[in-house]
Amino acid sequence: MKTRFKPAGIIGIGSCLPENVLTNSDLEKMVDTSDEWIIKRTGIRERRILDKGQPAYSIGYEAALRAIEDAGISAEDIDLIIVATETPDYLTPSTACILQGKLGARNAAAFDLNAACTGMIYALSVARQYVSSGTYRYVLVVCCEGLSKVTDWQDRKTCVLFGDAAGAVVIGEVEEGYGIIDTYLGSDGEAGRCLTIPCCHMDESDIEKRTHENKRVLWMDGSEVFKFAVRIMEHATEKILDLTGTLPGDLKMIFPHQANVRIIEGALKRLGISDENMMPVIHKYGNISSASIPVSIDEAYRAGRLLKGDKILLVGFGGGLTWGSAIIRWNKNQPGDTGVN
Ligand code: ACO
């Protein structure tokens, strides 16, 4: 007998940003930069930063609570927690295990997944398999990043780009024809050295590239990553449109990973998609890595820009190098509506 796969989708969503705002003019006092340069080259005006001593899991916890509430379930209903992060507070316990304990999700298994800025799409793809196969009923995905902890605050080439944030979704069964239609994932480890954050090991080249005292910081070849990002956004978008038989005109909104407005504008222009179809958050949060896509979906949803039946496209790229895309037919009408029969 043929196995029937259950349609799986986002039944709850939430996000959380730290309260501290770091503006471009604050950065002018820290490094040789200007508000004008940062806005012109990146589109970023300000970003949110965790308090000194505040763990990234604290915002992941708040985002998770909001997503669970929006899904109308309790923490004990969750079967699995996947945290997408490239900035875990500890290597062990994983951020997922920390959240499992803090949420009281006593029936849940838990693990972290690292696909850098593509983390949301990788985690969505994994969560979908568990729900569609009937293995688990509810999977909580939390994208939780504390990039300020791995930023070299003396390096003007990177410190103006990043911020801290968390976004979370609950994946569960939805009506037939709704939810995650398909996902596409890719990676290129050979090119991975153009964006690194060392952890337990550092080779000579890692040390040489980091010109200040703190060596456990993010280093990036900005122009290499820029070229890769524009090319891969276009490729991953075309691939998922093709896989799902979707036309750009069918899309209500597109949610790209927001690393730099110039990357987004360049890719959308080549794809013939209007930037009015996206929810910009980069100007106020900077590059928030895996949290960028769920935070922008949450803001669009709470602003009433997403209604049941809308087709949306998610596309991400990041360290690894990794990339991915997804098409979702939105299954919720407003916050509090689980979209489940
Ligand atoms: N303020 C003033 N000048 C600066 C600054 C700054 N903050 N940063 C760099 N400059 C200078 C450079 O030193 C250089 O000066 P020079 O010509 O005298 O050497 C000049 O500005 C131009 O530098 P570029 O690096 O060529 O600037 P570019 O226009 O490429 O912008 C940027 C740099 C914003 C980093 C861009 O390359 C970019 O966005 N790259 C992609 C980043 C990205 O998408 N990352 C995603 C993955 S992140 C993840 O997974 C964690």
In tens, the pLDDT along 51-100 reads: 999 999 999 999 999 999 999 999 999 999 999 999 999 999 999 999 99
Q: How far is CA 143 from CA 24, 114, 122, in A?
A: 25, 10, 11
Cα separation, 292 vs 255, whole angstroms: 9
Locate 183 and state its tokens: 């996902």
- Ligand 1 center to 42 CA (angstroms): 8
Angle at 142 between CA 56 and CA 202, to 5 degrees: 55
E-strand ranges in the chain read 8-16, 20-23, 46-49, 80-84, 109-113, 139-146, 164-173, 179-187, 195-196, 219-220, 253-256, 311-318, 322-329
* Backbone φ, ψ for residue 159 (5° rounding): -70, -15
- The H-assigned helical ranges of 210-260 are 222-244
| Average of per-residue pLDDT values in the chain | 95
Q: Is 287 a catalytic residue?
A: yes
Question: Three-state SS for 142?
Answer: strand
Ligand 1 shell residues, CB under 6 Å: 33, 37-38, 41-42, 116-117, 156-157, 160, 195, 222-223, 225-226, 229, 259-260, 263, 287, 289, 318-319
Length of the chain: 341
Write down the pTM of the prediction.
Answer: 0.96
Low-confidence ranges of the chain (pLDDT < 50): 341
Locate 292 and state its tokens: 């960028």
